[in-house]
Each structure stands twice: as C-alpha cells, then as structure tokens.
Structure 1
Amino acid sequence: MIIRVRQAAAVCALGAALTACGAPAAPHAARPAPSATSAVPSAPPTLAPGPAGVTPVFKNGPRTLGKVVALTFDADMTADQGARAAAGERFDNPRLIADLRALKVPATVFMTGRWAEEYPVQARSIGRDPLFEVANHSYSHYAFTSDCYGLPTVSADRMRADVERAYAAFRKAGVPDAMPYFRFPGGCYDRAALKALTPTGVTAVQWDVVSGDAFATDADAVARQVLDGVRPGSVVVMHCTRSAAPATERAVRTIVPELRKQGYRFVKVSELIGDARARR
C-alpha cells in the first residue's frame, strides 16, 4: 500500500500515479505437518474476531511493555502493472532488504501476490529468512472499498478469493509460512470488507506511524517523520518498491541506529500481536 502524508494526523493517502507499484481458509494451516517425533509448531498469534465475528484490526502493540517497534514494508505491485515491469520499472528493492539483513532488523513484509509472481526468487529469499515474516497485501492491490485514492476496486464477492490467491502465489514462489495477517491496499476498509475476510482467519494490520516514504525523495524527511512518530509498541508503515519509494533505503539507515540509540528494540508484527493478545 503506497501512502503519503497529507497532514500530521493523516492516516494515509495513495498516490494516484501508482494505480498502475488460493490459500486455505486458515492460511497457517498450510504449514507442513510435523513428524511424529517433532514438536508441534505453535500457530502464529492472531486477534480474536471483532463484534459479530468480523475480521479483527490491529494498529499497534501495548504501550506499556517496553520500547519495541515493528517496521513493516509493503511490497506493492498491482495486477495490471506487468507491462510496466516488463518495460524496466522496478517494484522491488533488494538493497533495502540487504540493509535490513546487515543491520539485523527483524521486519514484516506485506507482499502482494502479483509482486511474488514478478519476483519469486526475492519472495522466496525473504520468506525463508527467519529475520523476516511475509504477510498478505492482497493479490491484486486493488481497493477493498469503493473510494480509495483512485485504485481499482475488488467486488465484495471477490475479496476473499483475492486474499487466498495471494497466499497461493506465495506458496508457488516457495514462501513456506506466510503469516495470517492482511493489510488492505491503501489502508482502506469498511465493515463489509472486514466481514468478507472473516472466513480467511486473518488479522487485519494497520499502523500508527506513517513514514511518508511514498514517492518521497528526501530520505532525511522520511527519517524525521518516523522518529517523531514512534512510541513503544508502534507499527511503522514503509515500502519495498524502488520506483515508488526511492528514499526508503537511505531513510532506514538513519532510522535504525537512531531508534536503537533511544533504546528501542525491533520486532516483527507477530510479536506485537502476541503481546496484545496476552493483555486481553
């Protein structure tokens, strides 16, 4: 999901220029069955369904459990961007992933299924690296509401299939354990969308810190925005798309050491969700 800050309190804004950057019902059930002698792996933490059983929404972790922060990166590519990729536009950012590895920063990558199809080697590398976890950002990167910054929309009767198709693309690329977390394209959702995704068993993951890296060229400004916004338990939304977020890699090289200097520890979204669930 490509976002841009409109004002200090903005949640997100999708750049209109980027409209052109099936799993089983319980995605984690696709994990390989343990052998008779191995320990049964624990399921990834999820939140309990919301009122009337709709998909729960997670925004940030507890504020009282120490200085932890989750950096999340949206690997965006919409279903109709194949021609642009074929013409040379890059929707990946391998140097950013390399920096996260060099800095030993755990992170959650919200990946579209179309991105995994375009970059299967990278998807597999990220998905098999214990430093990272792969989560679902839809297959198509089309909006799940009717008014979402100019994105094409997914009809309500196709929402579940779009999410499941992304999990299928991850498995085909060789990602063994994609997490049961979903980020709405554009961050746009309503009750109908939450209800449509209930059968998938996912927890919807939003954020409380917008990095402003979408289409940004000033890495220092992106870093300042993140550093000014982070609080204990924060979820920061950034992007893993070179063409649409060219300053992210440089910003991360400032953000990580500064937050560590302030005493923060980097975690994956799954750890924050586990903390939140334990507090309920």
Structure 2
Amino acid sequence: MIVPVRRLAALCVLGAVLTGCGTEHTSAPEPDRPAKSPAASRPPTLAPGPAGLAPVFKSGARGGGKTVALTFDADMTADQGPRAAGGERFDNPALLATLRRLKVPSTVFMTGRWAEEYPAQARAIGTDPLFEVANHSYSHYAFTSRCYGLPTVAPGKMRADVERAFAAFKKAGITNAMPYFRFPGGCYDRAALRAVGRAGVTAVQWDVVSGDAFATDSDAVADEVLRGVKPGSVVVMHCTRSAAPATERAIRKVVPELRERGYRFVRVSELIGTAGR
C-alpha cells in the first residue's frame, strides 16, 4: 500500500503504492491482550469464493463490539536493494517499539524482500506474541495491469510470488506466518483472486485509510484514522520510515484516543475468526 489519501479519494480506490515497516512516555488505559488460541489450531480464514477465488476480507462485523485492527505494510520492492544499500530505510524500529510500549496487538503485512533486507527485525516481529505477520507479496509488484504505476507480476507468476514471500519469511525465522495476503496497492481483479486463491490465502483489504503514505503531518494522519474508525475496522498504515515518516507519532495520538472511546485493539486474525458469528 502507499498513496496519499486525497489522491486515493479522487480515484475512488482504496489503494496505495510503493514502499510501506523509542519513545516518549504517555499514560494509557489497561493494555489490550492478544486473543489466545490453542497451539494446534489453524489460523482462521474465510471460505474460498466461487471458482476458487480467494475470499476478500475488509472489516469485521459492526455489531461485534468495539474492536479495531491496526495493520502496517512493510513494503519493499524487489529492485530497491541499491537504495537500501545507499542508506534509505525501509524499516521503522521506532514504530515497532511504540506499539510494544503501548501493548497494541497488530498485524504486519510484510513483503518477502523486506524480510530478506531486515531478517533480524522480521524474526523479532514474527516471534513476538503481540504481532502477527501476513503476506504482502515478495516483490511489491502489482497484481493488475494498472495500479499506481507499479511494475506488474505476470499472471502465471502470481502464485509463485506469494509463495516466494512465505519462503522468505521462513528463511528469516518466521515459522507461523498467517495465511493472509494483501495485494500491493490494494489492486486486484478476478484473475488475481483466482491466482492467489491457489496459494490458499484470504485476501485482506481495509475500510480505513490512514493517509500516512509520504505524510509529514502526524496530527493529520491521526485525525484521518480517528474519523474513519468504526467497530470492526481494519486500518491500513505503513512501517517504512522513508515513505511514512509520521506514522509513529500518529500512533501515539491514535491509540490512547481510541482506548478512551472504548476500543480494543486486535489482530486481523481475531476479526476474521469472529466474522459471521
């Protein structure tokens, strides 16, 4: 994901583009606890759609209680290695530290290329019970022909791209990645859903766009989230320092305010697990 919110609204697409994953003390209400499930149980998914299309999840039930899932896209494209070698940071340790300090269960949609670039951070996220890791493709190339100028994955290679990301997670030490997939840019069509459906994943979109992509005003980002959140919302944000520098500061405003409103933070798996109940 990554697209400024104004452009996104103008195009009527909940999407985004390229590159997406310390601290000052603030008091907060009782922290949220990630829901526990038996170790042997499988992560919750939605039933496949007709003709094997991957199911698409956008938000939880509105009447299911005041829960909200913050999600963070750890974006890095397959060809951005030279930029990382030159000093550009596609990670955001301060954001992850703040989420830990505030004890916010979260879902990180990670590209395989990001896991390769930052294996220690990827492993730390994947082994922290506060977080869960899900798939954001290997290359962050688009799965449709028109998606904010992103390079595209050939139709015959879409499933392989998803599976390559899962393989990169395992190599980094993430052994429990969720069977969820977020399309780069949020762009998909029936052919893309059919391709990723063969990988056995549930596609996860969102219903609240934070507008943190390339934003520098953290208050504006926080206000965008606070205006949009409803019970069961999935919020899309980013954990890439270079492309979303205001996100960590925005989180420091969003989390206590939503808790004050009675919201409980959950991971995407909890929302999916209660869908339809």
Would you say 1:261 and 2:267 are equivalent positions? no
Cα deviation digits, residues 193-235 of structure 1 (max 9, x gap): 0001121110000000000000000000000000000000000
Would you say 1:12 and 2:14 are equivalent positions? yes
Q: Which residue matches 2:161?
A: 162
Q: Which residue matches 2:214?
A: 215
Q: Which residue matches 1:230?
A: 229
CA distance in 2, matches of 1:168, 1:40: 21
Q: Which residue matches 1:62?
A: 61
Shift of 1:8: 5.1
Structure 2 unaligned regions, length at least 5? 21-37
Cα deviation digits, residues 146-182 of structure 1 (max 9, x gap): 0000000001100000000000000000011000000
CA distance in 2, matches of 1:141, 1:181: 15
CA distance in 1, matches of 2:206, 2:148: 18
Q: Which residue matches 2:28?
A: none
Tell me the SS of whatever aligns to 1:200.
Answer: coil
Tell me the SS of whatever aligns to 1:192.
Answer: helix
Contact 1:107 1:269 survives alignment (8 Å): yes
Shift of 1:40: 6.3
Matched ranges for 1:121-132 at <5 A: 121-132=120-131
Q: Which residue matches 1:72?
A: 71
Tell me the SS of whatever aligns to 1:74.
Answer: strand
Contact 2:52 2:198 survives alignment (8 Å): no
Shift of 1:53: 2.2
Q: 1:13 to 1:135 in 2, by over 3 A?
A: closer
TM-score by length of 2: 0.90
Identity of aligned residues (%): 78
Contact 2:104 2:265 survives alignment (8 Å): yes
**Residue correspondences, number:** 258
Amino acid aligned to 1:272: L
Amino acid aligned to 1:161: A
Contact 1:137 1:183 survives alignment (8 Å): yes
Amino acid aligned to 1:201: G
Q: Which residue matches 1:143?
A: 142
CA distance in 1, matches of 2:93, 2:84: 15
Q: 1:66 to 1:13 in 2, by over 3 A?
A: closer
Which stretch shifts more, 193-202 or 219-228?
193-202
Shift of 1:139: 0.1
CA distance in 2, matches of 1:104, 1:65: 22
RMSD: 1.4
Amino acid aligned to 1:153: T
CA distance in 2, matches of 1:191, 1:158: 15
Amino acid aligned to 2:42: A
Contact 2:218 2:246 survives alignment (8 Å): yes
Shift of 1:3: 2.6
Amino acid aligned to 2:14: C
CA distance in 1, matches of 2:14, 2:55: 20
Tell me the SS of whatever aligns to 2:61.
Answer: coil
Amino acid aligned to 1:4: P
